[in-house]
Structure 1
Amino acid sequence: MAEHRSMQRAALLDAARSLLSEGGTEALTFPALAERTGLARSSVYEYFRSRAAVVEELCEVDFPVWAAEVAVAMERVGAPEDKVEVYVRRQLELVGDRRHRAVVAISASELDAGAREKIRAAHGGLVAMIVDALAELGHDRPRLAAMLVQGLVDAAVRRLELGAAEEPDVIADAAVAMVLRGVPG
């Protein structure tokens, strides 16, 4: 019985990822989840009390996987400048990943305080990954610099998500140049 519930919950989360990546937060409804999974709408409520609860669980499941992919890519390089570049590029590469698109859609949605706090904590963990590299590069306030770098990454992600006129590589190159060399590039 527990295994069946676990499989149903996983199916609901997978359906939620698809709905978010296809249609944004408006697409994530309990009727749509029920239709995607073949469950009765009332059964969906047995697994999640609200849409925010679905979003919260997606963050708990998907954000660590995404962050781990960034961390692994950073571990493959040695120099602090290379670590910062990989930090930016890997996040931008993940934009096409369904889990990432769901996280982006989630962050744009109206969430309760608990879900927002979980997203903030997850982002804090992501930002912490480059603090040491920025300190090695000479930043006297590396935590602040890391938060600003993440802000630039977030802006580049939004640009990619909008289907901007520029190619993804052009956006990634511009983001890396700005992070590593400033506005003059």
Structure 2
Amino acid sequence: MAEHRAMRRAALLEAARALLVEGGARALTFAALAERTGLARSSVYEYFSSRAALVTELCANDFPLWAAEVSAAMDAVDTPREKIAAYVRQQLALATDQRHQAVVAISVSELDDAARAEIRATHGELAELVVDVLRELGHSEPSVVAGLLRGLVDAAVSVATGGRGAHSPERIAELAVAIALDGVAGGGEPRGLRDAEDRQQPGGTPA
């Protein structure tokens, strides 16, 4: 009996993902879930008391899995440079996936503060992985650089999903990786900035 209920619950969550991809938040109704899964509408309420409860469980299931995928991609390679590249690529692969986009979009409006806090905690664990790698690269402020790297990923996602360019998400990912590695793998300030400061100091290298 417990296994049967678990299977039905999983089927409802999968149907919810499909409905979100097909029609957005407006498409996610208990009537649509009942039709999609072959259950009576009243039976859906036996598993989820409200749409908010359904979305909360959907996020509680999916967000940790996505974070685990990024972590696994980083664990699958050896060097710090490879780990940074894996982080950027996997984040972009997830962010441009339609199901990921749909769940993230509805989570903005449907989750309560406690559920959002759990998601932030999951993201925090992932950020710590990046901080550790940046520390290996010699950064004295790895948390700050991790935030900048996250900003690069967010910008790349915006470009990849905005429909404004001719490049594929894969090409944008490669460009983002190149920028990330050129910008963070040196373990210090950008060379151009260091050179400019040297020229301003007495005895610095002449221009």
State the TM-score, normalizing by the size of structure 1: 0.85
Gaps of 5+ in 2: 184-189, 191-207
How far does the alpha carbon of each residue in 1:79-98 deviate from its partner, in whole angstroms, 9 at most, with x for none? 21211111000122234545
Equivalence for 1:168: 169
Post-superposition CA distance 1:94-150 (Å, at most 9, x none): 345455334433444342212211221221122222111111122222123223322
Quote the Cα distance in structure 2 between the aligned partners of 1:54 and 1:16. 8
* Rounded Cα–Cα distance in structure 1 between residues aligned with 2:180 and 2:107: 23
Q: 2:33·2:44 contact (CA, 8 Å) conserved in 1?
A: yes
Q: Retained in 2: the 8 A contact 1:56–1:115?
A: yes
* Percent of residue pairs bearing the same amino acid type: 63
Distance 1:107 1:164 in 2: 25
1:42 aligned counterpart, secondary structure = helix
Q: Quote the residue 1:134 is aligned against.
A: 134
The yes-or-no answer on 1:118 pairing with 2:118 is yes
1:4-43 map, 5 Å: 4-43=4-43
Shift of 1:13: 0.5
In structure 2, C-alpha distance between the alignment counterparts of 1:29 and 1:151, rounded to whole Å: 34
**Residue number in structure 2 paired with 1:146:** 146
| Residue 179 of structure 1: aligned partner | 180
Tell which deviates more after alignment, 160-169 or 80-89. 160-169
Is the 8 Å Cα contact of residues 25 and 109 (structure 1) preserved in structure 2?
no
Alignment length (residue pairs): 183
Deviations 1:26-54 (A, max 9, x none): 32222222221122222222211222222
**Partner of 1:133: helix, strand, or coil?**
helix
Partner Cα distance (1:30, 1:152) in 2: 38
Which residue in 2 is equivalent to 1:100?
Answer: 100
Closer, same or farther: CA 151–39 of 1 in aligned 2, 3 Å? farther
Output the TM-score relative to the length of structure 2: 0.77
CA distance in 2, matches of 1:176, 1:119: 25
| Amino acid in the other structure paired with 1:100 | H
Structure with the greater alpha carbon radius of gyration: 2
Give the RMSD, CA atoms, in angstroms: 2.3
Task: Measure the CA separation in 2 of the matches of 1:28 and 1:147.
Answer: 34
Q: 1:42 to 1:161 in 2, by over 3 A?
A: farther
Aligned partner of 2:85 in structure 1 is 85
Q: Are the aligned partners of 1:15 and 1:33 in contact in 2 as well (CA < 8 Å)?
A: yes
